[in-house]
Each structure stands twice: as C-alpha cells, then as structure tokens.
Structure 1
C-alpha cells in the first residue's frame, strides 16, 4: 500500500467548514462548500480530496463520549417517561445527507487523476463511513433505503425501504471492499484513519447485532448468524493481537493515554481545535465547572453492581469481604474507585491536591450537594459523580482537554467474541475473556483462580455474566442501553424501574441542619472522610412520574412521520402501526 502523502493531522487541519480546526491552515483555506466543487477542482488534488473526506469523517462518526446516554439505561439518573419516543418525536437516525456526500466522493474519485492506490485507499475509507452510517440506521429502525449513488433532482427520490437482510448484506459488502484497500494499522500522525484493524473490529460488532435477539426474536440464540459473528470476532482478535493491540494494564489509562494499545478506533482530540470530547464541563461537579452539571451521574444500582475485591457479588455470603451499606466503598472491584466518586472520596480536580468531593447539604458546595431542599423535587442529582475519562488536571472551567474518544476498544472485541463464543458452544472461550477482563481490573484471583466467577456456568448463566461484566467495564461509554435493547431485556431490566441515589444525611452524627463550624472547616481542609458520614438510599424523583417507561416497541424506533409524509413509498414498522417487518 502506497502511503498517503498527507497524515491524519493534515487531513483534519484541512477541514475548514464542518469539523473544527479553524486554526489549522496547512493545505486549504477556502470559503466555499467542498461538497459543491466540480470534480476537476477536488478529485484531481489530494489535499482537496482529503479535505472533502475529513468533512465526511466529521459528520459520519461520533463527536465524542455519549454523555447522558446512561439516562436511558440503569447507569445515570434520567427517567425515560411515557411516550418519550413516538413517530412524531424521539430517537431517529436518517443520515442521507452525509450518505449523499459519501456517494459523490465514491463515484468521483475514480474520475480524477490521483494514483490508483491512493484512489482505492480514499474510496475504502469512504465505504467504511457509509457502512458505519447504514449500520446505525438499521440498529435504530431496521431496514432503510439503500442508495448507492448520489441522487439528482431528476431522479426518483421516493425510494422504498430495503429489507433488513438486504441492508446487512450491503453493509458487509462495503466493509469487505474497504478492507482490501487499507493498511493493517495506521499509527503516528495517521492514527484515526480507517484501517484494517478498525474494519475487522467493526465487522464483529455488526455481525453480533445481526445475530442478536433484536433482529431474531423468534430464534434469538440458535439462529444461523451466530456462527458468522463468532468467526468475525475470532478473526478480529487474532488480527489485533498480531498487530500489537491488547488490554492495557491500567484501566484508568485507557481513557487518558492517547493512542494506547487498547484503542482501535479513536476520534482524535487536538488542542487547539478539537477539545473536550469527554464533555468535562458537563460531567464535573458544578463547583469545578460552569453553566451545566449532572452529566453521567451514577445511580445506586450501578454502584451496587460492582463486585467485592474477590469478584463476588455484594450479596454473596461466600465472599471473603463483608459488605456494609454504610461503608459501601470498601473492598470493591478496583474499577469502582476508578469510575465512581462518592461523598468524601478523593477527587483532585483542577490540580487541587488532596481535594475530596462532598455531596452533603451544608458540607458540600451548594452547587454539588444532593438534597431536595437545594435542587428541587425533580432534579436527578444522585450523590455520586464519575471521574471516568476526565482530565483532572484542567483548571475550572475545563475547556482544553485533548483526550480522544475511543469508539472501539480492544475490550469490546473481547466481549463480542465472548458473546458469540457462548452462543456457539465455546463457553470456555467466554470464560477466558471474563477472567482476562477481571484480572486487568485488579480483582483477586482467589484460591480457585476464577476471579470470583462461577465454575461450570450454563449457557444462560454465562450470557448473563458477560452482560453483567460489560455493564461495569463500559460504564458511561454508551453500551448498556444498546446491549439491553439488543438482547430484548427492556421488560426485565428497565421498564418500570425506579432510580435511587445515596444521600449523605449525617456528619459525625449531626444532620445537615445541625452542621457546625468545625464540620465546615474540616470539609474545607478535606479532612472529613467517607466514614465520618451516615447515608440513606434515596429515590431520585419524588413527584410526578417516577418509573422508567421502556416498552417493547422501542426495540425498533419508528420512522419519523416527517419522512413518511415526504416519501409515501416508505412503510412504517409493524410495532408502530405499519406493515414493515424490521427483523431478519
């Protein structure tokens, strides 16, 4: 493969319109919209072609961490209410503007004068982006119209939906064609470009969804697609291992060390230009931020889900550690302290050495306190914050973190392999994955070397163990809701649940209204410890609707009425009053 002349950094810097990097002017300083250039002005010139492609990267791929995605699941405090999703409002994904630009690029590059190897590489990247968009649309809605060429004003724009099976075939074909023209692994300044490692890992995700109960409700775990999912994920792991990928030794460093060996597909942060992909300003406590807070605040059920240090559940009487609700933070899975910030926990934001985070009324900053008299009856502050992915050293308010967002990391490939292995009679491989994940987390192996896992798990038990482990490993990384949806577990895991936090109600035996100056001074000196407080599990919503409403109709979102009205050839999904079957 001929190496492209321009690095990813240069590609990003050429993007002067939609993505950012306004200070980077290495190649292009144009005011016109690149999507309107005639082919002769763009596709004969590598810098202009790269600029066009950078625009497409910016609109096709995620912009950063999915802050507050956990509100839809059992991670953070938001409540999904009645009729949160309808054909008139709610979740939809209809990316045809970007798909049109990708189709222009794919069809126009061959007409230019760039070297053949360069053309093939650029087209391959664009085909991956097209597959990425189609896959997300299918996950949202089921089958959607397949459009392979840019439509003109004289074309028939009222295109019907293709079947879900046809869409998966199309996505897989784009990925297969893309892989053949890409290098195994980009690094250095090219890191972030689509390469074979990304394609293989993403194919494993696609085929896992294809096999899942979401698309196969009549035969959820014995259908023909599981074998292909296992093959894809096994091949992806083998390829990644051979190219230097693997589990990073330190869990926290995954999110703060750029380009580490666990990062497969990264959205690159750059300073200046593209910063704060984590949403630090929205996730930090408001006392160390500005304008907004409350993002990704853990709820009590997530806090409880972390096992003890020996890997046993907090309710397991065989654990070597005794769990106590009043000292819930002691002797837990090390990922707990690397993710959950609780009252009195160390949280050295803004470079403040020794800083502790308080949440009790009259002890904490009023901006951070969890108390209904402070925040109103309908707030969902939980008594917890998260440190995951944050740049703690940034001053308040944070604006300059250049940490990346890892859309695909090596651990996801392991979990995808574990799921597909379990459903194809290879539970020994699934167990090996869970043990590797727990070993990296710092959970103790125990005398039996099982890291707290049960020996001889059934297929169903292993399936549940995989989902439970992924819940913790990927907390706030935008996996949980979609995993429960993919496995059709809304009825048992989300629908009807109430959400709770942990309110610090006493300090040294005194209530919030009895706090004295000594308590306040001790808090200012960060000398109050978590066990100086007493705690009460508290429901987060105290008036109005309190329960999550997540019906089975949400396994496929409806096609918005706007699009149905524009195109009478589109058919609505069955669960939403139409005739289209979104399953395979």
Structure 2
C-alpha cells in the first residue's frame, strides 16, 4: 500500500536569511532538542506507555460481549449492542473514553508503532547521546512495540509489520504479514528486550508498571496461548500448545502469589503491597481515573456505565458456581435447568454462590457503602426501590451494577474524587489459567484441574473433581476463565479465539426482574430477555479495517469476510 506518513513532530523550515527566519521556536520544543536532552528523551519515552489501552475508559469491553447489558445509544459502543459493526462504522470505537476505549485499535496502534520506531532509531544513531538508563529504555520500547502488535493481531489477525519510521512526503508499500510472522516478530522484540530489563519490580516500587523480564514473559504467555487457539491454529498444531504451556510454566515459580482477598485485590490503590500483579497500569491523583463514577448507579451520582450500559448480565450471573463447587444450572440441547446437585434456590438466587459473585456484582439486597441496594419493582409497577431502573435511566435495566474495581466505604464516591486503583494487564491467576488451558489441550487433564483448582481455592471453592474430564473439563476451564477474569477485557477475545462466539453471541442477553409484593413482602426473581443480537457470522471473530483505510491502501487486504 502506498501511504503518506505524517511526521511525529511537524517542523517547518524556511530557507531565508538566518537572522530573520532561522530562529528556534519559543512556544514548543524542537525535534532536535528532544534527542539531545536526557530529560526530554525520558519524557518522550514515558508517553510511549500510552500505546497500551487500559480498561477504565467510559466504555469498558464488558459491554461489547455477554458480560454486560449494552444499552448505549451512541458513541461507538452502540454498534456492539447487536453486533452491527462493519468497515464503515468501526472507527466509532477508535478513541478513548466516549469513543470506544480503543476497541478499533488500528489507528492508535500504528501511531504508537511509529513513535516507538522513531525512539529506537534516534537511540541507535551514531551521534545519539549516552546516559545511564539508555539500554533499559530501549528494551522497554521493544516490549511496548511487542504489546502494541499483540493488541493488533488479537483484533485483526496478521497485520503489516513496520520497523522504521517515515518522514513527511515518504511513500511506502505495506502488506499484511501472516499471523505467525507477527507472533515471531513479537517474540523477537521480547527476546531482545529481556536482557536489559530487571526481573521485576515490587508493587510498592515507584517503577512498578514499567516493563520487566516477567512482564515480557507474561506477554509471551498470552501471545502463544492465542497463537495455539483454534482461531489461529487451524490444524491444531500440538507444538504451539507446548510452546504456550512452556511460556506459562516459566512464570509459575517466579515469586508471585494469589492475593488472599479477591474483592480487595481490585480496589487496592496503586502502590499498595501485593504479589499477584505482574504488569499493570498505575494511576496517581494527578492522572487518575473515574471508573467508579462511570459505572456505579445513580444513588451515588454515577452513570451505570453511561446510559446504564455496563450493568452485568444475567448470562454472567448464571455462570457463577455454588459454594459447594457445583454449577447452578445444566444445559440440555441448549435448554437451561437447575442442577439438582447444586442446591440453587430460584427464590433466593444469590445465596451460597461463588464468593467472586458478591465481590464483582452488586445485586438486590447487597450492602454497599453502608447502603441497602434495592432493585425491586412492586407487583403493580407503581413503586420501586431506589436503585431500580425505574428510579433513574442511569440505573442498569438488568438489576445488577458493577462492583469489581469499585471502592469500599473508606473511599468517597464523587466526581471530585480521583481514583488510583490500577488496571491489571497481567496477573498470576491468568498465568495459572493459561497453563491449565495449554495442558488440557496437550492431554494433561490432571494438571489442568490442578491449576484451575488453585485459582478456585483462593475463594474457598472445592477443587475440580477428578471425575470431570474431556469436554466437561473444557467447559469448566472456559467458565473458570470467564468468572476469574470477568470485566478484565478477556471475554471478548476469548470466545473468539475459542471459536465459540457464534453460540455465545447468538444467546439473548438477559437481566433479572426483581418483583416485590408490598403486601406480603415476598420478592420473586424472574430472568428477562433484554437484547437479541443479529445472527453472528464467522467473520466477526476478527474486526474489520475501516473502509477508507482500504481505499487509501489498495495493497492492504480487508479482514476475511468483511
């Protein structure tokens, strides 16, 4: 494809009298000055970390899949409400906050690849300045480029690999590289980065959140797991599963441990002591976020995900096990019925559930910030609880509110408050589940059960019984990942790489009608269908590239099927 590449820093030079026009600008820093000043180089480098999207934008990826009930009326998120995205509208989710949280990552990704390439070229120039941390910064930049490429390939499959920057007026031809070529390039960047990085930083270290050897290993684990998955490993090459198992296994004994309190882990402020996060985005009071105010209900002056569009779904709630370790439901030919071994009681659907349910989701009768949450509507529909969707359009329709990442009562809830809860990119529980999945695919079901059970043991759930094997074990594996990593931006990509998105996305999105008889005081709970998406097509396993990008670059092929 032929494309004019814009300059990172546009500087206009006029050839004229030196004493008239050859004057250094005083309202900005010239490009030459950046690369001759250690502090400016470090400032440029620090900004490169913005290449990696975090999950606290207004639109979380939970609403793009079956974790939440997407009621967004606009602003990009609406095109995932019923999967109506296409090459003509996909750029509606190409920005941060209101505009989709960078789900369409093409523009953001390549802008930062260019910035990283500029940095690497300037640092590698013969006349480049020398300073103490230079090798480490170069290594961090290579890690960031590897992460950037992973963000691209999980969305689009193989993409063009660009390893140099281009000046204003340059033309160049790019074509898609294969997915496997992109994986090899990511591994090469990680291999080159690791020798000049520290093994890890403790969470209390001011440098925690910068690239480390362990962060490289965690990224490699995820990349190779995806590469081995059915979407990208079409002939089920066992060697790819072995590489995925080895990559995850390399981190199993690296000094990390599961934080003992699942609920508390996700509300610790940046800099708090813990040993589960391997790599995360930290925040400060000057560059913090407002995820609680974006996602809580109107009781707290919040917006429920904006337009109440991030309320957890009944689909997700149904998948939390009971405390005896049994799933609450079984499915026969797609028909749901109560699992008699579970002890599930439809009259009290929130009793005796996996503790991660109450840690992650606010429901009717939850006590949160000292308040009794009331989601009920009276039998005649004329009265309702303060947290009901009838009270405010900023209260989610489905009867649930996000609790994961929402602070406890010791932290004020206010738009004037800046929140410093970090965003986890990689944590030990994911590595355990990566390892479990790879070992399952290699036929080592005992190891798979063992590492699923390690994750479950944190919240007091019994281990997966040895009698759970084959496809039944696969279902438990997939479900464990769904529950443990809920709202952490895994679900959208997991169901696609597993090639089960057709089943998941074609299942109606449901909420819970909570009906209270004000005479008897009896409350009933009835699931209700709220969204039916358009029929899922296999092409939706990957995102399309915007139409205008294809028109500008005729040698760039569209994502298959689009």
TM-score by length of 1: 0.79
Aligned residue for 1:534, secondary structure, equals strand
Instruction: Work out the CA distance in 2 between the residues paired with 1:457 and 1:308.
Output: 16
Deviation, 1:181, is 1.0
Instruction: Work out the CA distance in 1 between the residues paired with 2:315 and 2:480.
Output: 14
- Say whether residues 1:429 and 2:447 are aligned partners: yes
Deviation, 1:305, is 1.1
Superposed counterparts of 1:51-450, under 5 Å: 51-62=43-54, 64=56, 67-78=59-70, 80=80, 84-90=84-90, 92-94=104-106, 95-111=109-125, 112-115=128-131, 118-187=133-202, 188-217=205-234, 219-220=235-236, 222-238=237-253, 240=254, 244-257=255-268, 258-276=272-290, 279-290=291-302, 292=306, 294-315=308-329, 322-348=343-369, 353=370, 355-361=371-377, 362-365=383-386, 368-371=387-390, 375=393, 381-393=397-409, 394-398=411-415, 399-443=417-461, 445=462
Aligned to 2:334: none
Aligned residue for 1:574, secondary structure, equals coil
1:406-428: CA deviation from partner (whole Å, max 9, x where unpaired)? 11111111111111111122222
Instruction: Work out the CA distance in 2 between the residues paired with 1:33 and 1:319.
Output: 70
List runs of 5+ in structure 2 lacking aligned partners. 1-24, 72-79, 91-102, 331-337, 378-382
**Residue pair 2:157, 2:542 contacting (<8 A) in 1 also:** yes
1:491-542: CA deviation from partner (whole Å, max 9, x where unpaired)? 22222x21221122114446xxxxxxxxxxxxxxxxxxxx85222222225x
Deviation, 1:364, is 2.0
Deviation, 1:144, is 1.3
Judged with a 3 Å threshold, the aligned counterparts in structure 2 of structure 1 residues 374 and 110 are, in CA distance, closer, same or farther, namely closer
Of 320-329 and 335-344, the range deviating more from structure 2:
320-329
Deviation, 1:72, is 2.5
Judged with a 3 Å threshold, the aligned counterparts in structure 2 of structure 1 residues 299 and 83 are, in CA distance, closer, same or farther, namely closer
Instruction: Write out the 4+ residue segments of structure 1 that deviate beyond 6 Å after TM superposition.
Output: 30-34, 316-320
Instruction: Work out the CA distance in 1 between the residues paired with 2:172 and 2:26.
Output: 30
Deviation, 1:457, is 3.5
1:145-165: CA deviation from partner (whole Å, max 9, x where unpaired)? 111111123533332222222
Deviation, 1:179, is 0.9
**Residue pair 1:370, 1:503 contacting (<8 A) in 2 also:** no
Aligned residue for 1:224, secondary structure, equals helix
Instruction: Work out the CA distance in 1 between the residues paired with 2:346 and 2:519.
Output: 17
Instruction: Work out the CA distance in 2 between the residues paired with 1:31 and 1:474.
Output: 49
**Residue pair 1:43, 1:114 contacting (<8 A) in 2 also:** no
Q: Supply the RMSD in Å over aligned alpha carbons.
A: 2.6
Instruction: Work out the CA distance in 1 between the residues paired with 2:261 and 2:355.
Output: 11
Deviation, 1:375, is 5.0
1:192-225: CA deviation from partner (whole Å, max 9, x where unpaired)? 11001111011000001111111123x24x4431
**Residue pair 2:327, 2:339 contacting (<8 A) in 1 also:** no
**Residue pair 1:281, 1:293 contacting (<8 A) in 2 also:** no
Aligned residue for 2:188, secondary structure, equals helix
**Residue pair 2:70, 2:81 contacting (<8 A) in 1 also:** no
Aligned to 1:523: none
1:72-130: CA deviation from partner (whole Å, max 9, x where unpaired)? 32211127456622121226321211111100101111332224x62221111001111
Equivalent residues, number:
493
List runs of 5+ in structure 1 lacking aligned partners. 1-29, 446-450, 511-530, 577-584
- Say whether residues 1:50 and 2:62 are aligned partners: no
Judged with a 3 Å threshold, the aligned counterparts in structure 2 of structure 1 residues 507 and 442 are, in CA distance, closer, same or farther, namely farther
Instruction: Work out the CA distance in 2 between the residues paired with 1:67 and 1:566.
Output: 29
Instruction: Work out the CA distance in 1 between the residues paired with 2:505 and 2:492.
Output: 9
Instruction: Work out the CA distance in 2 between the residues paired with 1:156 and 1:388.
Output: 47
**Residue pair 1:251, 1:440 contacting (<8 A) in 2 also:** yes
Aligned residue for 1:504, secondary structure, equals strand
Instruction: Work out the CA distance in 2 between the residues paired with 1:396 and 1:424.
Output: 47
